[in-house]
Amino acid sequence: FDRLIRRPTECTRTLNEAGSKLNELGYSPKIHKKSNICNFFILNEEGKRLRVTYDGKFQVANEAFSQRELLGLLHDNPSRFSANAITRPITQDFLFPTFAYVAGPNEIAYLVQLKGIYDFFGLEMPVIFPRFGATIVEKKVSKILAKYKLEIHELRNPEKILKRLAKEKIDDVFDSFRSEILRGMAEVTRQAKSIDETLIGSCSLARGRILKAIEALEDKIASKLKEHDLVLTRQIAKAHSNLFPYGDLQERQINVLEYIIKFGKEFLRVVYENFSEADYGEHVVIKC
């Protein structure tokens, strides 16, 4: 914190420069901060963290501090200082030197901007080790995927699947209907052209409106089919909640103990075998 007070905006500048380099390489930086942001908080008497900015003086809520005053506060009451998202990993690695850190995709995208911050504090940045990820597909879910010929990623949007599957049941009828309409409109257009070529535009406009009305009718019928097909709805909902609990990845919502209790030690063996063959950071599908 002493270094952050003495060089208040250097970390932010370093962070944003790393973000600019990522932009030049075609990547979107995860973090960007205003140039006057200081990368620490000060706690008030209630323990609430207050943001600190620097524009010649340190601004903390409605109070302004000189560098000397803030260094004095740090000396007298260091417990009032707290790291933010940028300096938290540095604080962690200063207290507990870390050789390697196992990180997920979002963490890696964030950590890649911090190398200069570690250099600022004279710390060696840990080796970033991409963690494995997995989607567990149980037999009951595999059957649903096979039955409806679905890919796992499609289950992220169950409503879209239900609509598509319902539409497939009436595709043949509406394809035939459209073909007849298009043939009829072609004949009407031919006759209209023979009378007056300026009528072609009106025919084209009418054709577009008719096709749009047919599409709206098809969507409405498909929606009703989806409502009436309770078996389909339940099965898709079951697969969705299993593969994407609460609309999120399993690894973010389900504790591994749930699978160990359900499948026993065999589950650990299967996971180990899959990860042994996977590349670092790979997301694998494991069928149980």
| Count of domains observed in the chain | 2
Same domain, 152 and 25: no
- Are 127 and 79 contained in the same domain? yes
Same domain as 140, residue 126: no
For the chain, the farthest-separated pair of C-alpha atoms sits apart, in whole angstroms, at 96
145 and 242 housed in the same domain: yes
pLDDT for 219-245, tens place per residue? 887 777 666 678 888 899 999 999 999
CA distance 268 to 262: 11
pLDDT single digits (tens) 205-215: 998 999 899 88
Q: Is the pLDDT of residue 196 over 80?
A: yes
Contact 232, 222 (CB under 8 A): no
Q: Tokens for 134, please give them.
A: 């997995």
Q: Are 268 and 140 found together in one domain?
A: yes
Last residue of one domain, picked from the residues 85, 103, 131: 131
pLDDT of residue 180: 84
Computed over every residue of the chain, the mean pLDDT equals 89
Query: pTM higher than 0.85, yes or no?
Result: no
Residue numbers of the domain that contains 120: 2-131
* Whether residue 143 sits in one domain with residue 100: no
110 with 165, same domain: the answer is no
Residues 122 and 155 in one domain: no
Burial of 188 (0-12, 13-18, 19+ CB in 10 A): middle
> Do 147 and 177 belong to one domain?
yes
150, 28: one domain: no
Domain boundary at 68, 96, 131, which?
A: 131
CA distance 17 to 116: 9
Q: What would the mean pLDDT of 24-37 be, rounded to a whole number?
A: 87
Q: What is the DSSP string of 6-69?
A: HSTTHHHHHHHHHHHHHHHTT---S----TTEEEEEEE-TT--EEEEEESSSEEETTEEE-HHH
- The answer on 102 and 157 residing in a single domain is no
pLDDT digits (tens, 9 = 90+) for 236-281: 999 999 999 999 999 889 999 999 999 998 999 999 999 888 888 8
Same-domain status, 146 and 127: no
Confidence (pLDDT) at 228: 63
Q: Which of 85, 116, 131 is the last residue of a domain?
A: 131
